[in-house]
Amino acid sequence: MKILKLSLISLFTISLVACRKDAKTTDSSKDSLTTKNDSVVVPEVYKEYYGIYMGDFAGKGMVTSEDGEEYEGDIYKKIALKINRITKDSVYGQSIVDGNQRPFRGVFNETSKSFILDEPGNDKTDGRFEVKLNNDSLTGNWNAFNKSAVKAPNKTLKLIKKEFVYNPNFMLNENNDLIDWENPKDFVEKYTDEETGKTETYTTSKNRVASDAVFKINASKQKLTEKELKNLRKLDMEIIKNSVFARHGYSFKKATYRHFFEQTDWYIPVSNNVDSELSPMEKENVALLNRFIKYAEDKYDQFGR
């Protein structure tokens, strides 16, 4: 009887080991199958439509005037749509507005040459693009998912395909209006009436201005020196520094710099981090500029709006 019990135990143990082995084999096969499925490459199509499309992003919305009153007016922005990948069933890419990059996914209709592209929807600025392709241009509309969360919930797009190229020779256009409209500062001024001799004070708003140095100094091509920088205004050095990042396609969130570079014909925002793209000399120049910017002062002037 004892020998029979031992035999039964041995048989049960062998069966259990076999079951575990079979289960392990099944799991391994399952993992292998999953890996194989995950590694399947979905064919890409219409690669000729890949690229960056840039242009106007305009709509009607509530605008606040200088005296604080709100009224409905036109809101104009620049936008870049980047088509990264197209398959039979999906389109992948990203939108860039005001330095804010949002991924999108959608579909392409070959018959109508049109895209429907949805941003994720977890940000108040997300919405749906419905645009049509005509040669190298995209035109259409964007509608916000949350219409109450944005100033202009419905916008039109007129975009042209552009190719991003880094070129250290890129410079600002001398016709640029180099004024920082975003950060006015109030100053108290005095006025003396010549007839009465009475002096009155009043408050006026002034904006920062840059000098011609921003058209001449290129921190992507020349090694900067302390002598060159010590007499420059703060805004001068900020523009010179950020010109380095603009040449590499940095997407500026700060309106001051974004507006400067959007006036050029070469600025194409493609990334919110280009630090690794800077050359050793550019990195040294940026570090030097940062040192001087910290203690530099600005010149303010008054301009009509």
Give 203 or 141, the one with higher predicted confidence.
141
13 has a pLDDT exceeding 50:
no
Question: Residue 34, SS3?
Answer: helix
Task: Give residue 23's pLDDT.
Answer: 43
CA distance 42 to 86: 10
What domains lie within the chain, and their CATH numbers? Answer: 47-162 (2.40.128.20), 179-301 (1.20.58.1690)
Q: How confident is the model at residue 182 (pLDDT cuts 50, 70, 90)?
A: confident
Measured in whole angstroms, the distance separating CA 198 from the mean position of its chain's CA atoms is: 53
d(CA 117, CA 110): 14
Against a cut of 0.85, is the pTM above it? no
- Please, what is the Cα angle at 261 between 260 and 267, to 5 degrees? 170
What is the residue whose two structure tokens read 């004070």? 201
3 state DSSP class of 303: coil
Average pLDDT of 290-305?
Answer: 82
pLDDT digits (tens, 9 = 90+) for 96-130: 999 999 999 999 999 999 999 999 999 999 999 99
Q: Is the pLDDT of residue 273 over 80?
A: yes
- pLDDT one-digit tens code per residue, 232-254: 999 999 999 999 999 999 999 99
Q: pLDDT at position 142, please?
A: 98
Side by side, which strands form the sheet with 179-192? Answer: 179-192, 199-209, 299-301
Q: Mean pLDDT score of the chain, rounded to an integer?
A: 85
Per residue in 206-220, pLDDT (tens digit) is: 899 889 999 999 999
